[in-house]
Structure 1
C-alpha cells in the first residue's frame, strides 16, 4: 500500500487529538471508570477502527482492508492476555481504582512510542534481510508453545527485575500521593508507588510487543498497516481493561486459542517461501481460534455457575 508522508502525519495527529481529549476533557478529574463508561469507550474505539478499516478498503482495495482487519484482530486478542497481567499488578500494589486510568493512559502513551520504534526496526530488518522473517516465525512458534504449557501461577512482583532495579536506584515513597507519580517527603523528591506501577505496565507491554509485533508482520509487511492496526488495538486497551478486568480470569481457554494463533502465524512465516496462505484464510483461522476459545470458556464458566447454584441434597 503506497502511503504518503501525510498519511502518517494525519494519523498521528488524530491519535494525539484523541489522547488530548481523553486526558484533558473526559478524564480531567480522577474518577473510577464504571462498566457503562468502559463499554461506551470500547465501542467508540472499535467503531473508529472499523471506520478506518473501511477507509483503507475503499482507498487501497480489499487486500489491504483484510490485512488491517486481520492484524487488528490479532493485536486485540493478544491484548486480553496483557489485561490479565495488568490486573495482577494493580491488585498487588493495591492501586486505588480512581488512579488506574492515569497509569494506563501514560503507560499506553509510552507503549505507542515503543511499538512505533519496534515496527520501524522490524520493517527495516525485513526489507534488508529476508532471513529475519524466519527469526520472527521461530519466536512466535516458541512463544505459542510456551503459552500453551505455561501454568497460571501468582507472579512474585516484589522480586521482579523492574521493581528491584527501581528500588535500588530510585527513592520510592511507601504511600500514594493522590494521582501523582512524584512527591516530596521531608524535603526529598521521591517516586510514588504509582510510578513504580507505571514502570511495570511499560515493561509488561515491552514483553508483549516482542510477541505481537512479529505476529502482525506475519499478516502484512506494510509498515503503515502494521502501525495503524497496532495503535488502534492499544488505544482501546484502557477501556477494554475496565470492561474485562473483572471477568478475564473466566477465559480459561483463551490462552490456548492465543497459543494456537501464535503457532499458526509463526508457521505461516516459516513456510512463507513454500506455501502462500491467503489473508482471508488467515482471518478465518484466527477468528475461529479466538472465538472458539472464548465460547468454550464462557460455556465452561456457565456450567460451573449453574453447578454452584444447584442446592445440595438435604441430609436425612
Structure 2
C-alpha cells in the first residue's frame, strides 16, 4: 500500500518536532533524570509509537500495515535496547558525567535516525532493482546472529575505535570535560573535549548497528514508510529508557541469544523470500523456487515469543543475577573512583550505595560463581572495591573536617590516600610503643588539648 507525500511530510515534521522538544526542554540544561521523569517520558514515547501502530492497524486493509509495523517496531526496539549495552560501555570508558549523558544519548539517537534514513532509502532502491539483495540481507543477518553467539571478547574496546584514534592524533584534545562543551580553551589554545569524542564514538557505532537492524526490518516488510516509522519510533524515547532500566541492563544476560535467534529467523525468512522471487541463473535456472514463505503474523508471534522467553529467563536466572551484580559493582566502583566534587553529591552517594548493595549480593554468591569476579586483563574486582572504599572513607573524613581535597579533575589520588594511611598506621604504632615505654614520657601525662587549627594549647 502506497503512502501519499502529504502523510510523509506530516510524519517527518512530527519526528523533527519531537527531537526539537527533547533538545530544547530536556537536555539543554544538564541534569540527572529522576526515575519518575524517565518513566513518564518513556511511557509517553511508547504510547505515541503504539497509537501510531493502532491507527495503521485499523485504517489499512486486512490490518497488513499494522501487523508489519508492530513486527518491525518490536524487533528494532529489542535491537536498540541491546545497543544500550554498548552505549553504556562507551560512556563508562569516556567517564561521561551522569548529568551530561542525556545530551550524548540524544545526539546518538539523532545521528542514528539520519544515518538509518539514508540506509533505508538505499536499501529500498536496491530491493526494487535487484531481487537477489534478499539473499545478501539474509546472509548478513545469519552472520550477525552467529557473531552474537560467540563468547564476549574481553579485549574489545568499543570506545577506542579507529575514528577516535585518528581524531586524537590529528586534533588537540583535552583529557577533561568542560561541562557539556564540545570545545574548550586551554592556555589560549582551542581544543576538543572528551564530549565531542564520545559523540563521535557513539555515532560510529550507530552506523555498525544499522548494518543488522536495517536488513532485519526489510526482512519483515518492504514498505518503506513502515520501515522508516518503525525504525524511528523505536529510537525515539531510547534516551529515557536508558535511565529507566539502568541497572536492569546487566540482568538481561540472555538478550543477545534471543536477538541472535530473532535475526537468524528473519535471515531465513529473507532467504526463503529470495528463493520465491529468484532470478539468479545458477539457482533453479533463474526460475522462482516453490518454498514456504513466512507470513508477517507468524513473524510477529515468533518475535514476541522469543523476546518474552529471553527476558523471563534472564530475570529468573541465578547466574544472571550474579553476573549483573559483578558487572554493576565493577562499573560503579570505577565510576566512583573518577568522581570529584564537581560531580553532583547525590549522584556520588547513589552510585556508592548501589555498589554496597551489589557487594552484599556478591558476598553471598555460591562458590560456583566466583569465576565471575575476575576478568582477563582487568583489575581484580576485590581490589577495585577496596580502592573505592578508601576514597569513600577519605571523603567522609574530609567532610567531617569541612575541607575538600578532590576538587582536581583527577579526583582523589589513591597513592596519596594509601601513603597517608600507612603514615597514620606507623604513627599509631610508634605512639603505642611510646606509651608502653615508661622512660619515654610520663605514663599518665595527658595530651594537651588541640585548638581548631590543630595546634596544641598549652596552659
- The reply on whether 1:162 has 2:179 as its aligned counterpart is no
**CA 140–157 in structure 1, closer or farther in 2 if over 3 Å, else same:** closer
* Cα shift at 1:160: 2.1
**CA 26–307 in structure 1, closer or farther in 2 if over 3 Å, else same:** closer
Q: Which of the pair has more CA radius of gyration?
A: 2
Measured in 1, the distance between the counterparts of 2:120 and 2:320 equals 42
Aligned 1:1-316 pairs, distance under 5 A: 1-61=1-61, 62-151=63-152, 153=154, 155-157=156-158, 159-272=160-273, 273=276, 274-301=291-318, 304=321
**CA 156–303 in structure 1, closer or farther in 2 if over 3 Å, else same:** closer
Measured in 1, the distance between the counterparts of 2:17 and 2:233 equals 14
Moved more, 184-193 or 78-87: 184-193
TM-score normalised per structure 2: 0.65
Query: What secondary structure does 1:32 align onto?
Result: coil
Measured in 2, the distance between the counterparts of 1:54 and 1:113 equals 25
Query: What secondary structure does 2:197 align onto?
Result: helix
* Cα shift at 1:310: 6.7
Cα distance per residue 1:212-232 (max 9 Å; x no partner): 000000000000000000000
Measured in 1, the distance between the counterparts of 2:182 and 2:229 equals 29
Query: What secondary structure does 2:141 align onto?
Result: helix
Contact 2:90-2:198 at 8 Å conserved across structures: yes
TM-score normalised per structure 1: 0.93
**CA 288–152 in structure 1, closer or farther in 2 if over 3 Å, else same:** farther
Following superposition, which runs of at least 4 residues in structure 1 exceed 3 angstroms of deviation?
A: 301-312
Cα distance per residue 1:127-184 (max 9 Å; x no partner): 0000011100000001001101232535325642122111122221111010111222
Measured in 2, the distance between the counterparts of 1:100 and 1:311 equals 32
Structure number with the higher helix fraction is 1
Query: What secondary structure does 2:177 align onto?
Result: coil
Unpaired runs of 5+ residues, structure 2, are 277-290, 323-359, 367-459
Q: How many residues were matched structurally?
A: 312
* Cα shift at 1:29: 1.2
Contact 1:87-1:245 at 8 Å conserved across structures: no
Measured in 2, the distance between the counterparts of 1:158 and 1:242 equals 20
Contact 1:83-1:245 at 8 Å conserved across structures: no
**CA 300–165 in structure 1, closer or farther in 2 if over 3 Å, else same:** same
Cα distance per residue 1:179-229 (max 9 Å; x no partner): 111222223222110100001111111111000000000000000000000
Unpaired runs of 5+ residues, structure 1, are none
Relative contact order, CA 8 A, sep 6+: which one is greater?
A: 1
Measured in 2, the distance between the counterparts of 1:180 and 1:66 equals 43
Moved more, 66-75 or 149-158: 149-158
Contact 2:183-2:190 at 8 Å conserved across structures: yes
* Cα shift at 1:25: 2.0
